[in-house]
Amino acid sequence: MHGLQSAFGGTYSDNFTLPDSQSQKGLDALAAHDPAAGGYGTQVVLHDNSPLTGFQSQINATVTNLQHLPHVLSVQNPLPPPPGTSGSGTSGSGSGSGASGGTGALSKNQQIAFITVRFDEPPSSLGNDYIPKVDTATQPLRAAGVEVEYGGSLGELARPKGGDLTSEAIGFAVAIVVLVATFGSLIAAVMPLLSALLAVICGLGVLSLVAISFTFATVSPTLATMLGLGVGIDYALFLITRHRQQLMDGSDPVHAAGTATTSSGRAIVVSGCSVIIALLGLYASGVQFIGRLGISAAITVVTGVIGALTLVPALFGLVGRQIDRFHLGRLIAEADPAPDPAHPGSLYRYAHQVARRPWWFLAAGIVVIGVLAIPVFSIQLGHIGDGADPTSFTDRRAFDLISEGFGPGANGPLTIVVDQSQVSGSDRPALATSVQKALTDVPGAASITPPQATPDGDVLIATAISDTSPQNHATTDLFNHLKDDVLPGAVSGTPAATYITGTTAAQIDFLDIMTARLPIIIAVVVFLAFLIVLLSSAPPWSP
């Protein structure tokens, strides 16, 4: 499987769209009227202890080199033009002149700047061989001693490949300790880990092969690994516990393995089907990107079920009665088939008390669950930003530099789009004045650029920078205020359409869609899981 994955396996990408969202409509409007201003923007961040204006020639050369890269729509130079010249700061034809009109991409102390590069597709989907090309393009600045970091999705593409397996290793070690303490047997503790690990490896291989034809998010293998290991270990525990009890009751290993698989196997299949249905229920969100996350995890759940029903019984036959050979202590999981009424265990006494006062314990359980659920009412949904990455990642260093030089909101600018293609030419100056007036002194905005018309004059574009980071709730409030109040008021009485687009806007739209559809997802998953349990518990039909 690993050989097939390496030779033929697909790749993972976060290239997804929200077709009916206002952010996507704004992006489409930009692409139709000014492709160089549309696309997917990211930053190449520059830093030096001396003013960057002293590196004019190196920055100009880098701008030119970047413009010549594949998939690049435009490159914006952060430096102002030399005295006596003018320029837009955008190279859309590949000339890379380096001229700039003062783009606000140079910090006040002139030690931090960022080159805005726009791509025709998300940079994170361009493949592992793209970053060396960008490194070559920025070599003039690196050779001059300037620090160069990649922000946004370009920085995500430049992250170290292979991932950090520290968390998985820690989780695996903790699982070993817990299972050894539970079973008191090293062999019994290793069995579920071994079967679950082999099942997950097979599942990831299948996922990679499926990724040849379908696009899965970059987080898909991590999610699939997490769920696959969880269910794989859990299902193996069902079988091992029943198998060991059969051995204690005097059954031979073969008969014990068969009995355990027959009795617990049905529960494993029902449970696995319920988990798979729940994951596929993510398609009820209406977002294909989320639905495919469910598919990726469902694949390892399937292999986890198959592994539990095949590998674990095979291991039973392999070890025979030696499953408890390396005995490390009292078996916590070992059941007493005939407990002594004069000296009942703690679990026996607890169960007896629950059976005597079921309503009291039920009420106590509901109260405890209610207390634990209190944080749900103050939960804040959002995307994990580059600021959460380790400082060894270039996107984190770029995030910190932009925050230092321009404020945290500069890491997630909001692009304001006013489509005035249906507005008559004589009314457009008044509309531009109205929009600019509405965008003045907006609460929560660190700055908003004056609206500029696209070359064909059909679209007005402005950029809003929040006072806070993209993940802060105040940035979401600014987005909603601009989208729902400021812009509609500015174009009231005209046929103009307004949008807010960009990475941050798309993320907020995505969260709004998921929040609105979450009750539907829950209802679908619960209903389908109920049907599975109902069908599995129904008696066989007979005429």
pLDDT tens digit string along 95-122?
333 333 345 788 999 999 999 998 888 8
Tell me if 384 is assigned to some domain: no
Mean pLDDT of the chain: 82
Structure tokens at 481: 């205020």
Report in angstroms the alpha-carbon separations of 346 from 221, 332, 352, 448: 42, 12, 10, 67
Residue type, 357: R
Question: Per mean pLDDT, which range of 201-210, 352-361, 527-536 is the poorest?
Answer: 527-536
532 in the same domain as 448: yes
433 in the same domain as 294: no
Q: What is the pLDDT of residue 436?
A: 92
Tell me if 351 is assigned to some domain: no
Q: Residue 11 — very low, low, confident or very high, per pLDDT cuts 50/70/90?
A: low
- Alpha-carbon distance of 22 to 290, in angstroms, equals 19
Domain boundary among 157, 188, 204: 157
Domain boundary among 321, 337, 353: 337
Q: What is the pLDDT of residue 329?
A: 54
Residue 12 pairs in a beta bridge with 216
- Alpha-carbon distance of 422 to 326, in angstroms, equals 80
Tell me if 361 is assigned to some domain: no
105 in the same domain as 22: no
Report in angstroms the alpha-carbon separations of 109 from 50, 93, 136, 450, 469: 9, 31, 28, 23, 21
172 in the same domain as 128: no
> 258, 202, 262, 268: which is closest to 237 by C-alpha?
268
> For the domain that residue 511 is a member of, what is the CATH number?
3.30.70.100
- Alpha-carbon distance of 365 to 99, in angstroms, equals 68
Please list, in sequence order, all residues whose beta carbon lies within 8 angstroms of the beta carbon of residue 429, skipping any fewer than 6 positions away: none
Q: What is the pLDDT of residue 13?
A: 66
Residue, of 194 and 386, whose pLDDT is higher: 194
Q: What is the pLDDT of residue 59?
A: 94
Handedness of CA 100, 105, 111, 117 (dihedral sign): negative
315 in the same domain as 419: no
Structure tokens at 432: 């531009």
List pLDDT tens digits, range 13-57: 666 677 788 998 998 888 888 877 777 888 999 999 999 989 999
> 397, 376, 375: which is closest to 386 by C-alpha?
397
Residue, of 213 and 498, whose pLDDT is higher: 498
Tell me if 64 is assigned to some domain: yes
Number of domains in the chain: 3
431 in the same domain as 510: yes
Let me know how long the chain is: 543
304 in the same domain as 438: no
**Is residue 529 over pLDDT 60?**
yes
39 in the same domain as 28: no
Residue, of 136 and 93, whose pLDDT is higher: 136
**Is residue 266 over pLDDT 60?**
yes
200 in the same domain as 180: yes
268 in the same domain as 198: yes
> For the domain that residue 258 is a member of, what is the CATH number?
1.20.1640.10
Residue, of 95 and 183, whose pLDDT is higher: 183
- Alpha-carbon distance of 210 to 50, in angstroms, equals 51
Structure tokens at 387: 């600021």
Tell me if 389 is assigned to some domain: no
**Is residue 337 over pLDDT 60?**
no
Decide: 218 and 14 in contact? Cβ < 8 Å. yes
126 in the same domain as 38: yes
Structure tokens at 149: 């970091």
List pLDDT tens digits, range 438-488: 999 899 998 898 998 988 889 999 999 999 988 888 999 999 999 999 999
Domain of 61 in residue numbering reads as: 34-157
424 in the same domain as 328: no
- Alpha-carbon distance of 33 to 419, in angstroms, equals 9
**Is residue 67 over pLDDT 90?**
yes
Tell me if 144 is assigned to some domain: yes
- The continuous run of DSSP H or E covering 132 comes out as helix 131-137
Residue type, 55: F
CB atoms within 10 A of CB 516: 11
Q: What is the pLDDT of residue 150?
A: 94
Q: Does the predicted TM-score (pTM) go above 0.85?
A: no
- Alpha-carbon distance of 165 to 171, in angstroms, equals 10
Task: Report the DSSP pairing between strands 414-419 and 112-119.
Answer: unpaired
Mapped to the 3 state alphabet, what secondary structure does 267-289 carry? HHHHHHHHHHHHHHHHHHHCCHH
Q: Residue 137 — very low, low, confident or very high, per pLDDT cuts 50/70/90?
A: very high
Domain boundary among 132, 157, 182: 157
- Alpha-carbon distance of 270 to 347, in angstroms, equals 27
